Structure 1
């Protein structure tokens, strides 16, 4: 049984939480420094467009990246918790002696 957390589910929760937080911040904007609705270059407006669902290709790419990262973390976690293979159960070689005899001619 693997007690490691489900990385994919945690990544989904993170993205959902960030989306809700950014969405709430955008809805509560004070309007003083508001960007025009057709702004396409600043990072704030680009993130807002992704949160609003206007950029599904970016959302899909982000989901792919997070899924790959979660799979890599899951694989690393499973390898770290896996028992050692039977081949490594053999007795290790004795350590090298601390002093070595060298003949000088």
Structure 2
């Protein structure tokens, strides 16, 4: 057994940290820390998505999250039973060559 934390706990910590960071960024934007026409910094991009001003970014984010969910779902599927696995290919013969 390993001492490493479970990936679910790690994901929960990541989401919690991102939520705190996003909340702080939104408070800074409300306080006027960024210009209203800022279009390049990630903080303003996320704030625009949250406000619904950037539907193309929202669509791209939805595609990425869908792909990530499908990948996690495929990893979480149980392995096939031993009967269902294809037979292993025989190994090719190996020639022993002595090097001085």
Alignment TM-score, normalising by the size of structure 2: 0.52
Q: How many residues align?
A: 85
Larger-Rg structure: 1
**Higher normalized contact order (CA 8 Å, seq sep 6+, divided by chain length):** 1
Runs of 4+ in 1 over 6 A off after TM superposition: 16-19, 30-33
1:20 shift after superposition: 5.4
Structure 2: stretches of 5+ with no match in the other structure: 1-11
**TM-score, length-scaled by structure 1:** 0.50
Q: Cα RMSD over matched residues?
A: 4.1
Could you tell me which runs of 5 or more consecutive residues in structure 1 were left unpaired when the two chains were aligned: 1-12, 101-105
For 1:62, the equivalent position in structure 2 comes to: 61
| CA deviation map 1:39-59 (0-9, x unaligned) | 112222112212222112111
Query: Shift of residue 36 of structure 1?
Result: 0.9
